[in-house]
Amino acid sequence: MPLKKIKSSIILFAVALLCSLNLLLSGAHAQASRISEESVDVLTKTGQALAELAEAVKPAIVNISTTRTEKISRFNPFLNDPFFRRFFGDNPRFREAPRKRRSVSLGSGVILSSDGYILTNNHVVKNADKIKVILSDKREFTGKIIGSDPKTDLSVIKIDATGLPTLKMGNSDELKVGEIVLAVGNPFGLNQTVTMGIVSAVGRANVGIADYEDFIQTDAAINPGNSGGALVNVKGELVGINTAIFSTTGGYQGIGFAIPSNMAKIVMDSLIEKGKVIRGWLGVSIQAVTPELAQQFHLEKDYGTLVADVVENSPAEKAGLMRGDVIIEFNGKQVNEPYILRNMVAATPPGTEVFLKVIREGEIEELKVTIGELPSDIQKTPAAFRNALKGTSVQELTPEIKRRLNIPDKIRGVVVTDIEAGSPAETALMPGDVILEINRRAISNVEEYEAIVSKIKPKEDILLLVYRKGSTIFITIGAE
């Protein structure tokens, strides 16, 4: 047989063999990937249940669009020219007047009463000139702010409508890690978006988002525009108000935070009924119990909350609470961290009698205390000051914030979180700056910051030492 014919025969045989193998492998693969009817049934029912849940909650979620006017300082390039400054100096006449710019932002909200009360985040509607609310049926309304609480980042707005779909409030205290939750909102302006995940953690604090923190952490996708939207459980109940994401890119990275519904309900009811949030007050300065402190105070383990100071004539002093006491229970509930006690006290109506269990000199004692009302001067925020730092909001420089902003451990101060448009500090400071000193006086926390700033006169210039992007700089802020 000629060689060419032998080669052709071998090639044909090889091709036929490969085809046969492919057919056998395909059959085996099809056999291995077959899905049982039971599995299909379970998945189908799960999908139908989630679809019903989403369909039930979406009508109560609204799109919130706000417009606000901002002052933008115009930069004159000659002001940084040494030759120009040599002849004309730092003359205000050569500074261009700030321009006004209208900005638009998007967020979400949750309808919680059929007559138009909507819960959202404070940062969604803060400083808004106009609030537009779009319902799921495309109807549009103008929203009015009923009250805001920056300390929890919550606001209540009202629209003139009746017969609206609502969400039922769930009990966020019953949430367990691992539970399935849905996040519903308007990320990037995309209306009625639903994402699914689980409860990743509860009781998250020291995040640096608000003053009172007890966040639910979830991996349900939350993105810009979701703020103020709903976190719901499998019963379709509201268990959280989506507030923020942890991200290095500005987008979803699997960590989102929601304000628990129980905290949100207390704030909402108080804003609607009284126009402000009434918080309980104990009158103590507290700190965490470290292993070193536990040893010094003869504790078996580092738990509870250490009383560092007691305010004169406060409910705590009247009840006999003393510096050095370690509070381990508040009305029968364990207290393991300062933020837990702070939130418990704040949520307790003034005039309520509660029992504290404390460790004093190694012995357990029980004290009865009548909770007071948090004084208004303690509740004030830096934005209330009438000097060059008015409109500047700051937060404690927590370990979490240091890690996120890549700030060295040795840095002590307060971090700038927001600066209102038109504030004298607007062109000098920026969010993320750490204020280390004010008028040559070092500060290490918000209390010291407020104590110094409150004594600065309206027309007094302020000298700041600021840590910014790896270096420290002096900044002067002139009064208006």
Task: Record the tokens describing residue 153, joined without a space.
Answer: 């980042």
Q: Are residues 261 and 184 in the same domain?
A: yes
Q: Which of 275, 309, 325 is the last residue of a domain?
A: 275
Whether 29 is a known active-site residue: answer: no
Q: Which of 243, 275, 307 is the last residue of a domain?
A: 275
In a domain, 200, yes or no: yes
Q: Compute φ and ψ for 341, nearest 5 degrees.
A: -65, -45
pLDDT given for residue 301 in this prediction: 77
Q: Which of 275, 301, 335 is the last residue of a domain?
A: 275
Q: Are residues 179 and 55 in the same domain?
A: yes
pLDDT given for residue 84 in this prediction: 45
Query: Do the strands 237-245 and 168-169 form a parallel or antiparallel pair, or are they unpaired?
Result: parallel
Q: Are residues 259 and 174 in the same domain?
A: yes
Q: What is the mean pLDDT of residues 265-290?
A: 87
Task: Record the tokens describing residue 372, joined without a space.
Answer: 């007071």
Whether 298 is a known active-site residue: answer: no
Domain that holds residue 112: 49-275
At 182-199, the pLDDT tens digits run 999 888 777 788 888 899
Residue among 65, 108, 149, 153 flagged as catalytic: 153
Q: In CATH, what number is assigned to the domain containing residue 342? A: 2.30.42.10
Residue among 65, 108, 123, 423 flagged as catalytic: 123
At 442-468, the pLDDT tens digits run 998 887 888 888 888 888 889 999 999
Split at pLDDT 50, 70, 90, the class of 23 is: low
Residue among 65, 108, 172, 227 flagged as catalytic: 227
| Secondary element (H or E) of residue 7 | helix 3-32
CB 281 within 8 A of CB 371: yes
Q: Are residues 248 and 352 in the same domain?
A: no
In a domain, 17, yes or no: no
In a domain, 78, yes or no: yes
In a domain, 35, yes or no: no
Q: In CATH, what number is assigned to the domain containing residue 203? A: 2.40.10.120
For CA atoms 375, 381, 382, 387, the dihedral sign is negative
Q: Are residues 104 and 218 in the same domain?
A: yes
Number of domains within the chain: 3
Q: Are residues 344 and 408 in the same domain?
A: no
CB 28 within 8 A of CB 22: no
Longest CA pairwise span in the chain (Å): 115
Split at pLDDT 50, 70, 90, the class of 480 is: low
Task: List, in order, residues 6 or more apart from 262 with CB less than 8 Å away.
Answer: 171, 172, 173, 347
| Secondary element (H or E) of residue 44 | helix 37-57
Task: Record the tokens describing residue 234, joined without a space.
Answer: 């499998």
In a domain, 255, yes or no: yes
Q: Are residues 137 and 199 in the same domain?
A: yes
**Bridge partners for 359 per DSSP:** 326, 364
On the question of pLDDT at 265 being above 80, the answer is yes
Residue 284 CB neighbour total at 10 angstroms: 25
pLDDT given for residue 354 in this prediction: 93
